[in-house]
Chain A
Amino acid sequence: MSATDSGERKIVTFSLGDRMFGIDMRTLIEIREWEAPTPLPKVPAYIKGVANLRGTVIPIVGLAERLGWEPSVPHARSCILVVSIGGKQAGFLVDEVADIVLIKGSEIQPAPEIEIDEPGVIAGLVQVGARDHDDAANEAGSMVLLLDLDSLNVIRQMELAA
C-alpha cells in the first residue's frame, strides 16, 4: 500500500495498546477470535505459534512485539487478523478490531516519527472521522497509522531470526 495512491480504499482499523492502526482490506483474509496457537520451539518470541486455518498451517505473530513494543496480553476482545503477505499467510494478534472505513488516497499524510523497530512499516497517517452509527464517540477525529505489512516482511524476518 503506497501513500501516493489516489482513489478510495477500505481499511480495517484496530488497536494495539492506545494506538490505532489500519491495514488495507485487500490484504485481509479474515478476522478470528483469539485462540491460543500451538507454540513452536526455537522461534523468536514474537511468533506465538501456529494455528489451523481450514487445513493450512499459518504462523501467529504478536504484532506489538514484532514492532518492538510491549507484548499485548491476549484478552476477551483480542483478535487475529489473518492476512496474505507476498503469497504467504500469517495471523497477527491485535488488541481489538475497531472498524472498516473508507479513505481517500489524498487523505493520507506522511508518516510521523514514532518509536518503532521497523520504520518502513508505517505507510502513512490518516484521520478517520466520527461515524454517526458508532457509539464510540471518542473515535471522532482519531488518527490511524497505516501499516504496510508487505514491507514488514514477517516471513523473511523470521528466516533471518531463525
Chain B
Amino acid sequence: MSDELDEIQAIFFEECVEGLATAEAGLSEMAAGDASAEVIAGVFRAVHSIKGGSGAFGHTALLTFSHRFENVLDEVRAGAIPPTAEVVKVMLGAFDILSDHVAAAREQSAPPADESVLGALDDLLANKGAGASAPPAAAAPPPAPATSPAAPSAAVPDGDEFGFVPVAAAVEEFDPFGFEPVAVSLDEVVELDPSDWTVRFGPSREALANGGEPILVIRELERLGGRVERVDGSSLPDLRDLDPENSYFVWTLSVPGSVAETEIAECFDFVAPDSLIEIVRTEAAAPAVRIEPALPEPAPLALVAEEIITVHAPPVAEAPPAPVPAPAPAIEPTPAAPAGERSERASDQPSQTIRVDLSKLDQLLNLVGELVIRGSILADRLSPADQERVELPQLSRLTRQIQDSVMSLRAQPIKQAFSRVPRMLRDLSAETGKQVVLDVAGETTEVDKSVIEKIGDPLTHMIRNAVDHGIEPPEERIAKGKPAEGIVHVSAEQKGARILVRVSDNGRGIDRARVKAKAIEKGIVAPDAQLSDEEIDQLICAPGFSTAETISNISGRGVGMDVVRSNVEALGGRVEISSVPGEGTAFTMILPLTLAILDGMVVRLAGQRYVLPLASVVESVRPEPGQVQRATPTSEVIELRGSYLPVRRLTDFFGLGRGLEHRPEDCLVIVVESDTAGLVGLMVDTIDDRREVVLKSLDQNLHPIRGLGGATILGDGSIALILDVEAIVSASSPTSKHNLKGLAA
C-alpha cells in the first residue's frame, strides 16, 4: 500500500515541478506585460492542480497555501483584480513560497514561513477585488473561450443564462476549503447536439473531504467548451437529514464532440475515485466510459522519483472513438523560438505524452548500442556478397534509424535547466539590492538529457557571478549613465554538433588590472608574466581565485568559476569568456550536443586502438622525411603548405613508450582543429577505420583520465579509448592539470 502510494506521490511531485514551471513561465509573461486570459488561465490551472494533489496526499500546509494563492488567481482570471505590475510581483512572491511549500512537502520538512506573502495575497483580495469579496461563483463571468484550442467558437454559456439560483446556505458554513456556493438550475433541459459528449459528474463525499471543488471541475469543462445541461438534485434530502459534508448533486454537461475524450478525462484527474464520472457520446449508441480518476497515469509503476522524463508521443491512433479530429498534436521541437513564448503556449495544450523512467531509456540506448556493435561484427565476418544475400545493409539502416530515434527520445528542451533561473535572480536581486532583469532566449533548444542534468550547477554559478560581480548597484549604474536595471541574458543555441549556453550581463565587465594583480598576489601567475586579455579573463576560472574584496553570501568564495570550468570540461566542453570593461561580460559554455554517440577515426598508438573524434579532424598527412622538425628539444613542428603547426606524439603524451627516436615518416600526422590551440598535428602510428562509436563513460566505474574522453566497444567486443583532443592539445605537459595557456600563445 505505502509503496504504491509513494509511487503515486512521486508522480504528484513530478507534476508539481511541471506545474511550477508552467506557472512561473506564465507569471513571467504577465510580468513582461502579456496578461492575456490564456496566460492567466495557465497559471491558475497549474496552481489548481498542485492544490488538488496536495489535498489528496494530505499535504495540509501546501494545500492551504495553494488554495489561498488560487483564490487570488481566480479573481485575476475573472478580471476582478487587474494584473498590474504590483499584483504580478505579489504573485511572483507567492510563487516562490509555493515552490518552497512543494519542496517542503516533498522532503517532509517544515513548511516555509508564508505569513507575509499570505498577508499580501489577502490584501489583494480585500482591496482590488472589493466587488467580489463575497464568494464569487456564478457571478464571475466564465473564462474566455480562447483558452480552449480544440473547442469550436460556439457555445460558451453566459453564467446567468439559466437563471441560476444559489442553493443551500449551509454550504458556505461547513466548507473548510473555501467552497464557493454552486448555482444550479434544476429544471433546465436543453437539446443536445447529437455528436457532443455527455458528461455526468457526481462528486463523492470523499471528493469533498479531499478538498475537491466541483465548481472548478465544471469550469474546467466549460473551458473545453462544455456547458451545464442540468443538475440532478433529486437525491437531496430534507434539510434536517442533510449531511453538510456530503455531496448530493449530479451535474450533466455537454461538451463539444471535437474535444478529445482524454481532455475531458483530465478534468477529473484529481477527483476522488469513487465519484460518479461518466463520459459518453450523446448518440446513445456509444458505450459509457467509466474512467478511474485520481490516478493520472497508473501505468508506469516502477517509477524512480527523480528520473522521469516526459516523452512526446505521436497522436495515438486508438485514442478517441469515432469522428473526432486528431487530438492536440504532439509538440514538435521548434527551432529556437526567439523568446520561447510560443512553445510555452503550446505546452498548455494537453500533449500526447507518456512518462518513462530514464533508466529504461538508458537501457534501450545501451541495447541499441550493442545491436550496432553486433551488426558490425556480422559485417566483419561476411563477404560483401554474403552481406547482400542476407540483406545486412537493410538491417544496418534500420539499426541506424532505431539508434537515431532513441537518441531523439533523450533530447529535451534546455528549458528544464533554465527553469530555476528566474527564481534565483529574484533571490539574488533581493540579497544584493541590485536591480536585475532576466532575458531568456533559445530555451526550446533540444539537448541530450545527460547534458541538461549536468549544466545546472555551472549555470547557477555563472548567474551568481553575473549578478554579484558583473551588475553594478543601481546608484553606480545611474552614475555611469546606464539604466538602473541591469540585464542578465541567458541563451542557448545549437551550432553544429555543439550547444552554446551563454550567460551575459551589461555590468561593469572584468577589471583586468585587478584580476592580474590578484592572481599575482595569490601566486597563480608569475609577477612578470606577460598575459593577453583573454589569458587574464581565463584566470577567473583558476582554482582558488576570487577578487571579491569582501566575501559575499553569493559568490566570492573563489570556487565558483573553477567549478564551472571543471564541470564543463568533464562534459567534454569548454568555457569562453569575453568582456568589455564598463559594458559587460559574457560567459559561454560550449557543450557537445550528445554525450552518447560519436563519429570517430580509429587510430593505433603503440599497437593499441584509440578513437579520435572525427569532428575535430581536418586532414591526415604522411610526413616526408624532414617535414617534421624539432623546434625545441621537447617539441616538434610540421611544415604544412608553408606554415608550421605544433605536433604532439600521442604515444609520448600517454607514456606508451617509443620516444622521439621513432621516425615521423613511418607515422601519420592527423591535423586537428582545436578550440583552444587552433590547428595541431597529432602523431599516430596508423589509421585503422572510421566508424560511429557509442561513447561509454570511464568515470562511471573509474575516474576521468586527462586526455581521454571515454571509451567505446569496437566491433570485436574489445575496448578502444576515446581521445579528448582539447585536453591533449591544451596540456602543455601531460601532468599540468590547470594550465591556462593554449599552445597557440
Interface pair A50/B700, CB less than 8 Å apart: no
Interface pair A42/B702, CB less than 8 Å apart: no
Could you count the A-B residue pairs with CB atoms below 8 Å apart for me: how many are there? Answer: 70
Q: Which residues of B in the span 673-729 have a Cβ within 8 Å of any Cβ on A?
A: 696-698, 700-703, 705-708, 710-711, 713, 717-721
CA gap between A41 and B721 in the complex, in Å: 10
Given A50-B711, A55-B713, A56-B700, decide whether A43 and B705 contact each other with a Cβ distance below 8 A.
yes
B656 at interface by CB-CB < 8 Å = yes
**B366 and chain A: residue at smallest CB distance:** A55
CB distance from A80 to the nearest CB of B (A): 14
| Residue-wise interface mask of B (607-647) relative to A, using a CB-CB cutoff of 8 A (1 in contact, 0 not) | 01000000000000000000000000000000000000000
CB distance from A61 to the nearest CB of B (A): 10
Interface pair B719/A155, CB less than 8 Å apart: no
A127 at interface by CB-CB < 8 Å = no
Q: Which of A37, A90, A159 contacts B701 (CB 8 A)?
A: A90
Complex contacts, A40 vs chain B, CB 8 Å = 702, 705, 708, 721
CB distance from A40 to the nearest CB of B (A): 6
CA gap between A159 and B701 in the complex, in Å: 11
Interface pair B700/A155, CB less than 8 Å apart: no
CA gap between A84 and B710 in the complex, in Å: 20
**A54 and chain B: residue at smallest CB distance:** B370
CB distance from A142 to the nearest CB of B (A): 32
Given A41-B656, A50-B711, A52-B713, decide whether A59 and B701 contact each other with a Cβ distance below 8 A.
yes
Complex contacts, B721 vs chain A, CB 8 Å = 38, 40-41, 50
Q: Which residues of B in the span 298-346 have a Cβ within 8 Å of any Cβ on A?
A: none
Given A42-B706, A56-B696, A57-B719, decide whether A155 and B608 contact each other with a Cβ distance below 8 A.
no
Interface pair A38/B608, CB less than 8 Å apart: yes
Given A51-B719, A55-B366, A155-B701, decide whether A42 and B734 contact each other with a Cβ distance below 8 A.
yes
Complex contacts, B608 vs chain A, CB 8 Å = 38-39
CA gap between A89 and B700 in the complex, in Å: 8
Interface pair B370/A155, CB less than 8 Å apart: no
Complex contacts, B705 vs chain A, CB 8 Å = 40-43, 162
B654 at interface by CB-CB < 8 Å = yes
**B720 and chain A: residue at smallest CB distance:** A38
A75 at interface by CB-CB < 8 Å = no
Tally chain B residues at the interface, Cβ within 8 Å: 27
CB distance from B653 to the nearest CB of A (A): 8
| Residue-wise interface mask of A (101-140) relative to B, using a CB-CB cutoff of 8 A (1 in contact, 0 not) | 0000000000000000000000000000000000000000
B369 at interface by CB-CB < 8 Å = yes
Q: Which residues of A in the span 55-76 have a Cβ within 8 Å of any Cβ on B?
A: 55-59
CA gap between A57 and B708 in the complex, in Å: 14
Interface pair A155/B654, CB less than 8 Å apart: no
Complex contacts, A39 vs chain B, CB 8 Å = 608
CB distance from B720 to the nearest CB of A (A): 7
B119 at interface by CB-CB < 8 Å = no
CA gap between A159 and B698 in the complex, in Å: 12
CA gap between A111 and B61 in the complex, in Å: 54
Q: Which of A50, A52, A55, A89 contacts B698 (CB 8 A)?
A: A50
CA gap between A52 and B721 in the complex, in Å: 12
Interface pair B703/A158, CB less than 8 Å apart: yes
B655 at interface by CB-CB < 8 Å = yes
**A36 and chain B: residue at smallest CB distance:** B718
Complex contacts, B370 vs chain A, CB 8 Å = 55
CB distance from B727 to the nearest CB of A (A): 11
A77 at interface by CB-CB < 8 Å = no
CA gap between A38 and B718 in the complex, in Å: 8
Q: Which of A41, A52, A158 contacts B702 (CB 8 A)?
A: A158
Q: Which of B656, B703, B707, B711 contacts A57 (CB 8 A)?
A: B711
CB distance from B702 to the nearest CB of A (A): 5
**B650 and chain A: residue at smallest CB distance:** A41
Q: Which of B369, B707, B710, B720 contacts A42 (CB 8 A)?
A: B707
Complex contacts, A51 vs chain B, CB 8 Å = 719
CA gap between A57 and B707 in the complex, in Å: 17
**A91 and chain B: residue at smallest CB distance:** B701
**A89 and chain B: residue at smallest CB distance:** B701
Interface pair A155/B703, CB less than 8 Å apart: yes
CB distance from B694 to the nearest CB of A (A): 8
CB distance from A92 to the nearest CB of B (A): 13
CB distance from A64 to the nearest CB of B (A): 20
Interface pair B703/A50, CB less than 8 Å apart: no
**A85 and chain B: residue at smallest CB distance:** B701
**A158 and chain B: residue at smallest CB distance:** B703
CB distance from A86 to the nearest CB of B (A): 11
Complex contacts, A37 vs chain B, CB 8 Å = 719
CB distance from A39 to the nearest CB of B (A): 7
Given A39-B608, A58-B701, decide whether A50 and B656 contact each other with a Cβ distance below 8 A.
no
Complex contacts, A41 vs chain B, CB 8 Å = 654-656, 705, 707-708, 721
Interface pair A42/B703, CB less than 8 Å apart: no
Complex contacts, A90 vs chain B, CB 8 Å = 701
Complex contacts, A88 vs chain B, CB 8 Å = 700-701
Complex contacts, A158 vs chain B, CB 8 Å = 702-703
Given A38-B608, A55-B713, decide whether A50 and B702 contact each other with a Cβ distance below 8 A.
yes
Complex contacts, A56 vs chain B, CB 8 Å = 696, 700-701
Complex contacts, B366 vs chain A, CB 8 Å = 55
CA gap between A154 and B696 in the complex, in Å: 20
CB distance from B403 to the nearest CB of A (A): 14
CA gap between A23 and B483 in the complex, in Å: 68
Complex contacts, B654 vs chain A, CB 8 Å = 41-42
Q: Which residues of A in the span 11-44 have a Cβ within 8 Å of any Cβ on B?
A: 37-43
**B705 and chain A: residue at smallest CB distance:** A42
CA gap between A56 and B362 in the complex, in Å: 12
**B369 and chain A: residue at smallest CB distance:** A55
Q: Which residues of B in the span 92-148 have a Cβ within 8 Å of any Cβ on A?
A: none
Complex contacts, B656 vs chain A, CB 8 Å = 41
Complex contacts, A47 vs chain B, CB 8 Å = 702
CA gap between A59 and B702 in the complex, in Å: 7
CB distance from A155 to the nearest CB of B (A): 7
Interface pair A57/B701, CB less than 8 Å apart: yes
B706, B719, B720: most-surrounded residue (chain A CB, <10 A): B719
Q: Which of B697, B702, B718 contacts A155 (CB 8 A)?
A: B702
Complex contacts, B706 vs chain A, CB 8 Å = 42
CB distance from B715 to the nearest CB of A (A): 12
Interface pair B703/A52, CB less than 8 Å apart: no
CA gap between A118 and B702 in the complex, in Å: 20
Interface pair B700/A57, CB less than 8 Å apart: yes
CB distance from B206 to the nearest CB of A (A): 42
CB distance from B20 to the nearest CB of A (A): 30
A38, A56, A89, A90: most-surrounded residue (chain B CB, <10 A): A38
Interface pair B719/A50, CB less than 8 Å apart: yes
Interface pair A52/B701, CB less than 8 Å apart: no
**B609 and chain A: residue at smallest CB distance:** A38
Given A55-B366, A55-B369, decide whether A38 and B700 contact each other with a Cβ distance below 8 A.
no
Chosen A-B contacts, 13 in total, with CB atoms closer than 8 Å, are: A37-B719, A38-B711, A40-B721, A41-B654, A41-B655, A42-B705, A42-B706, A52-B713, A56-B701, A57-B710, A58-B701, A158-B703, A162-B705
List the 8 closest A-B pairs by CB distance, nearest first: A41-B654, A38-B719, A159-B703, A57-B696, A57-B711, A59-B702, A88-B701, A58-B701
Given pairs A38-B718, A42-B707, A57-B702, 19 additional interface contacts (CB within 8 A): A38-B608, A38-B720, A38-B721, A39-B608, A40-B708, A41-B705, A41-B707, A50-B698, A50-B702, A52-B713, A55-B369, A55-B370, A57-B700, A57-B711, A57-B719, A88-B700, A89-B701, A155-B703, A158-B702
A interface, CB within 8 angstroms of B: 37-43, 47, 50-52, 55-59, 88-90, 155, 158-159, 162
